[in-house]
Chains A and B, each alone.
Chain A
Amino acid sequence: MNNSYVGIDVGSISTKGVILDNNNKILASVYLWTEGNPISAVKKIIKSLELQIKGKNIVIKGIGVTGSARKLIGTILGANIVKNEITAHAVGTISIHPDVKTILEIGGQDSKIIIIEDGIVVDYAMNTLCAAGTGAFLSSQAKRLGVDVKEFGNIALESKKPTKIAARCTVFAESDLVHKAQIGYKKEDIIAGLCNAVVNNYLNNVAKEKKIKAPIVFQGGVSKNEGVVKAFEKELNEKVYVDECGHLTGAIGIAILSKKENSNIEFNLNIENIKFENKGVECKKCPNNCDIICIYKDNTLIDSWGNKCEKGDSIQPANVNQV
């Protein structure tokens, strides 16, 4: 029997899953859209992972969950570790690039930078202000320009003279973009300008004051955009690595972390036929109106959270049916 470890990364836009063996080799992996329903996404992920390892002599000795819905999914899967995506990404990337010094990441909703020295995280930062310069921002601008966001990278590479776009704030950027398009700038120049703006915004905001040292790895959905990659390389004057499996690093990282927990339990992945339900209950006992999330497994409450004060204690978990 070979020990193996499951890592799940549940993001707002996509969900990723991997199974690693004892040497951190990927035995199975899957990537799909979350579509606003993390539970069904994870069920699909687990099913697909199971299919991939079927017949191999494998026992699951750990399950780790990361990403924005980590708590919910962690409860459902009975994970032995639930951790934030910054740590998971760092650990995952280090396992692929042991000598990495800087990780740049631009995802759907947020962006971050992680600085690594001798294989440990020594500094990191996330975007603070708003979604300007993230994947969601690029998609909305693409729509505005009538271009498929997947084409963005290639179109940007055609530009010889990128237009300057103010991208500090989504609202300002949009009005600037419309204005530039109206006064007749070429589409490819505007798109290249947007890619530059994303990079400048990132370097001036998220990566401010951080010493970006090579080797540099770039991850997250936006890393698939060639235009942004080229803009980074030009600004930083360094090679920027983008991995084929860059989207999986969070899941890989959390699987490795679950291995480190040295758990002796055997995990069961058979959740397909179990009915999970999460109900949001709004506590009306004070104007905070906390959203209390209750998780049911086959109609029994297994966990709940989201409560800010004692007033809501009575709502969770035992008395929830009375509300």
Chain B
Amino acid sequence: MKKKIISFPHMGNYYIPIKYLLTKLTNCDIMLSPPITKKTLELGSKYSPDFVCIPFKYNLGNYIESLENGANILMQCGGGCRYGYYAEVQQQILKGLGYNFEFYSLTENDKLAAISMYRMFKKINKKLSIVKFLYYTILTLKMISYMDKIDIYIRANIGFEEEEKSFENLLKEMHKDLESTKGFIHLRKTYIKYNKLFRKIKLNKPSNCLKIGIIGELYTCMEPFSNYFLEKNLAKMNVEISRRTNVTYLVIKKRFNTKKILRECGNYCKYTIGADGTDNVSEARMLAKKGYDGLIHTKPFGCTPEIGAMSILQKVSKKEKIPILYFTFDSHTSEEGIKTRLEAFYDMIKMRRENNE
């Protein structure tokens, strides 16, 4: 029988925990899709429906590149909006292109549930026990939550490092260590070690630095290639960055805080407005109250829930007096245009700040 090789689409650095989980739960080879490049997007766009949103195109590009490299099992784990329906359509398109593969989706009816996940892994690895499944799933979630915690610190401070690349290099070391995680205690030790090391990195940070919050659709927030390395560019401008959207938030925190989030929206939302729209309205209002200088909202072209959120965010921006820069990404977004807007946004919030002081 042919060796089973699993692959999955990229999103930021999350390939590390996903690869870890798949290694532990299946007896297949795990193949990382090649890093996203322009070619990935070109491939994805070429075979995607016309006005489907851009995460679909990136995912499809990842799949094609993996299949070309020999993968024969593909996974999808998106959900929350039309993302949850990607799997079937992508499968259909790839079959149409003549590839031979199995396709598994971690979500069912647009929801991520432990039991359906277990059933799915059981299909790939018949010997998998529920205990082992739960152990490694929870361990992986813990790993993700540590990674996200570190990322929050990095985002707030990377713009002020004294020595260039000190954050980037240390993060790479941490990722390497995480790959060889042995269990909960070992994982925690790794976290504590790196948490200390990150905090030791020398900073040159003024107490009144400019602060920018990033909100918006999850994929364009979290996959740097898809937002033209927005956070890296902001860091170069010496800005403190904050972003609530991460996997820990979407998979765990959000579930238990629906009511609180809706409350945080104040009068702007009576109901949840779909996908992560409500979360972004609440985050915008909260960051405005915390005195942030500006917000950047990212979304794929045609993202229904975020377009809905935008009509509300425009009012938040006006009433709470916080400027919001809206970015829409699709396969022919001009990078130069993004940079110009970003620079102008920075100039604007800087002038506003100077004027208020």
Contacts and interface: CB of A to CB of B under 8 A. Distances in A.
The answer to A–B direct touch (Cβ < 8 A) is yes
B129 interface: no
A128 interface: yes
B351 A86 contact: no
B162 interface: no
A86 B340 contact: yes
Interface stretch (A56-64, A116-124, A154-162, A217-225): A116-124
B337 interface: yes
Interface stretch (B33-41, B94-102, B264-272): B33-41
Interface string A67-108: 010000000000000011111000000000000000000000
A110 B337 contact: yes
Interface stretch (B204-212, B241-249, B342-350): B342-350
B344 A120 contact: no
B323 A126 contact: no
Given A287-B37, A288-B38, A84 B348 contact: no
Contacts of A308: 229
B352 A122 contact: yes
A84 B328 contact: no
Contacts of A84: 339-340, 343-344, 347
Contacts of B229: 308
B323 A86 contact: no
A209 interface: yes
The secondary structure that dominates the B interface is helix
Contact of B340 (A126, A128, A286): A126
Interface string B320-357: 00010010100000001101110111011001100100
Nearest to A119: B355
A110 B314 CA distance: 23
What class of interface size applies to chain B in its complex with A?
A: 20 to 34
Interface string B2-43: 000000000000000000000000000000001101111000
Nearest to A82: B343
Interface in A32-82: 68
Contacts of A286: 35, 37
A22 interface: no
B74 to A, nearest CB: 20
A120 B229 CA distance: 28
Contact of B344 (A87, A118, A288): A87
B347 A68 contact: no
Given A87-B343, A110-B337, A126-B341, A287 B348 contact: no
A232 to B, nearest CB: 22
A268 interface: no
What class of interface size applies to chain A in its complex with B?
A: 20 to 34
B347 A83 contact: yes
A122 B37 CA distance: 36
Question: Which of A121, A126, A286: most chain B CB closer than 10 A?
Answer: A121
Given A118-B355, A287-B37, A288-B38, A124 B314 contact: no
Contact of A288 (B37, B336, B340): B37
Nearest to B311: A209
Given A110-B337, A209-B314, A287-B37, A123 B323 contact: yes
B355 A120 contact: yes
A204 interface: no
B344 A124 contact: yes
B38 A289 contact: yes
A126 B337 CA distance: 9
A67 B40 CA distance: 31
B348 A83 contact: no
Contacts of B345: 124
Contacts of A287: 34, 37-40
A118 to B, nearest CB: 7
A25 B229 CA distance: 40
A308 B38 CA distance: 11
Nearest to B345: A124
Contacts of B343: 83-84, 86-87
B229 to A, nearest CB: 8
Interface in B34-71: 34-35, 37-40
Contacts of B35: 286
A285 B341 CA distance: 29
A289 B38 CA distance: 8
Interface string A296-317: 0000000000001000000000
A68 B336 contact: yes
Nearest to B323: A123
A86 B337 contact: no
Question: Which of B343, B348, B355: most chain A CB closer than 10 A?
Answer: B348
A265 to B, nearest CB: 23
A287 B33 CA distance: 13
A123 B343 CA distance: 13
Interface in B164-178: none
Contact of A120 (B34, B341, B351): B351
A121 B352 CA distance: 7
Interface of A: 68, 83-87, 110, 118, 120-124, 126, 128, 209, 286-289, 308
9 contacts: A84-B340, A85-B340, A121-B347, A121-B351, A128-B326, A286-B35, A287-B37, A288-B39, A289-B39
Given A122-B352, A287-B39, 18 more contacts: A83-B347, A84-B339, A84-B344, A84-B347, A86-B341, A86-B347, A87-B344, A110-B337, A121-B347, A121-B352, A122-B323, A124-B348, A126-B341, A209-B314, A288-B37, A288-B38, A288-B39, A289-B38
The 10 closest A-B pairs by CB, nearest first: A86-B344, A287-B39, A287-B37, A84-B343, A87-B347, A288-B37, A120-B351, A84-B340, A121-B348, A209-B314
